[in-house]
Chains A and B, each alone.
Chain A
Amino acid sequence: MSQPSDTPNLADRMPLWLMLLTGIGLALWVLAAAFPFFWMTLISFRLPVDAFSVPPKLIAPFTTEHYWQLWVGDRFWLKFLNSTIITVGVLVISLTIGCLAAYALARYGGALGFWLLLVALIFRALPHVTLLPSYKFAFFELGLWNRYETLIVILVAINQPFTIWMLRSFFMNIPKELDEAAQVDGCSRIQAFVKVILPVMWPGIITTGLFSFLLAYNDFLISSQMMNADKMTMTSALSAYMNADDDAFKLMQGVAGAVSITAPLVVLVLFFQKQLVSGLTQGAVKG
């Protein structure tokens, strides 16, 4: 991936004006990318009158009232708990069955494997709302609506096409000889998979897991339709504060909620920046 250090870098020969332009352009981009987060966090600790003041203030009295109102008054902690249950459930099941399938798809050469991958690709492109009428109708009729298990199973299934494609590309990089050596040493297929292949797959599993986590954690469309009141996830619970532009305090609780949802994601990027980047480029650079 990285180029040898002795190659002439374009930066070495850049004229001054181009260097300046690059610097200004990149500074503007960083500002555009990060400013909404910075400002949202800043005003979440202010009273409405300071948060939306004319002219805007950089320094204003500090308050944690909105967080208190949201987490305790509106019981946002319950939504946090729901989000945790849903994302952990999705992550564990999705990766377990995804790893099994992806490993088989990476090692099996028959036509069925090929068609399975192709169908998974089509499923992956389906807009999620396409399946929603069926989910809502069927789970309502079955009396399984508004339950953790239901939402977890749905999100796992929707996530499978992506998961198996991505994990498979990681498994493809592990030489087949490794399985064969393990089997020669007396391992069964499943033993070889668990004892020999999985331990070297961790980077791939972490990367795929990050994206599975994001899908479950960020989902609004399905969660908001399949869960109700106290079972809502944090993301779908935001809808209650979304159109409260007339009620300043309600709006500010929404801001506090948005910051609360974002905080774990920022930590995630801090710790897993490398894996996220490698996941994004996985499908692209290798073809």
Chain B
Amino acid sequence: MPFRTFLGFVLPSVVAMLMLIALPLAGVVYLSLWNSYTKTSFVETTVRTPVGTRVERRPVAELDAAGNPVIVREWYGSRNFETVLGASNLAEAWERDRSVSATGQPTSAWQRFTALFRDVTNVKFWGALEFTLLYTAVTTPIILALGFLIAMGVNSVVRELKGVLIFASLLPFIVTPVVGSLSIKWLFLDNAIITVWLEQLGFGKIYFMQNAFTTRLLIILVGIWKATPFVFIVLYAGLQTVPSETREAAIIDGANRWQTIRHVIIPHLMPLFVFVTLIHLMDAYRVFEPILVFSGGQGADSLQHLTYKILSDEQNFHKASAAALLMVLGIVVLLVPLIIKTYKDQRRAFA
């Protein structure tokens, strides 16, 4: 295909991506370096109350000639980033003396470390990072194992059942994430079915939404529930491509079931394991809806949710931009292996 034709074909798509991905990305960098506020001045008014009069100073937005509020923009440099990272809190936390506990006993190194960790994660950004990483670290191995087991199981049942199993599995995966999270939350409310069952089974009344540990547990549960089907479907498709000669050869050589799985099937599926892991790492890093639904950021937060909160609650574009850019840093780290792999693959295809 000649170059000019190529350009014509890709133009609409490229323009869309330039205007609405590349440009906004540059815009976020710009916004993060500034601050803006509505210019206000104090107006003194005399307020008459039953016990006398007092003078009150109230802030009032200054208006320009056209009657619009005057917005002041101010160069902030790295200050938005420092606010998000909690630079001053960190410095304070680092220098705090923890050699003696509250009761006057000398503390061990481990206690000092956990106290420092607690102080650091009390800063919202680091708390969000901590839970994002915890969520990723816990869900990844579980969905890989569970997805593989389900794929092996479905592969061994009669064909009539496969359709039903795949249908049921697709539901958590494609359902609107907010709805998926809510549907699970509604099972764990104080008077909801699972809470009541657990109580009847003798586990006692558990108030799932009231404490950080159970909230975190539920968020991770939702993550597993939603991501396992993807692993299962991809690995199941991969299982259909295991060459039957290799498997037969292994059986003839006297390999038992476990050895066949260990030495034939898993190595064959290895590239797929790598693929689903990479995709899940990216998805887990931007976990958002379960946090929104279960904790709203209390007790468990994620980087994407934190940025969203700064934007929707504080309405602070500048601070939100700084948080968003800090989040991109992490994505760069995650992306490096994927980009290298794609670079090699596509180089070959294009050469």
Contact = CB atoms under 8 A, between A and B. Distances in A.
- A joins B in a complex: yes
Nearest to A25: B153
Contacts of A4: 244
Contact of B307 (A18, A22, A129): A129
A110 B3 contact: yes
A160 interface: yes
A122 interface: yes
B142 interface: no
Interface residues of B, number: 112
Interface string B19-35: 11111110110010000
B149 A25 contact: yes
A36 B187 contact: yes
Interface stretch (A51-59, A60-68, A73-81): A51-59
B1 interface: yes
Contacts of B324: 127, 129-133
B114 interface: no
A160 B19 CA distance: 12
Describe B's contact surface by its main secondary structure. helix
B178 A133 contact: no
Nearest to A280: B233
Range class of the A interface residue count: 35 or more
A47 interface: no
B182 interface: yes
Contact of A116 (B10, B12, B164, B251): B10
16 contacts: A22-B156, A29-B169, A40-B182, A56-B197, A101-B13, A103-B9, A119-B17, A122-B335, A127-B285, A127-B286, A128-B286, A129-B288, A137-B27, A158-B21, A273-B167, A277-B233
Contact of B327 (A112, A127, A217): A127
B176 A235 contact: yes
Scoring A14, A36, A254 by chain B CB atoms within 10 A of each residue's CB, the highest score goes to: A36
Interface string B217-250: 0000000010001100110011011101001100
Given A1-B240, A10-B257, A261-B176, A33 B169 contact: yes
Contacts of A225: 308, 311-312
Interface in B248-264: 248, 251, 257
A7 B350 contact: no
A254 B200 CA distance: 27
Interface string A9-30: 1110110001000100110011
B87 to A, nearest CB: 21
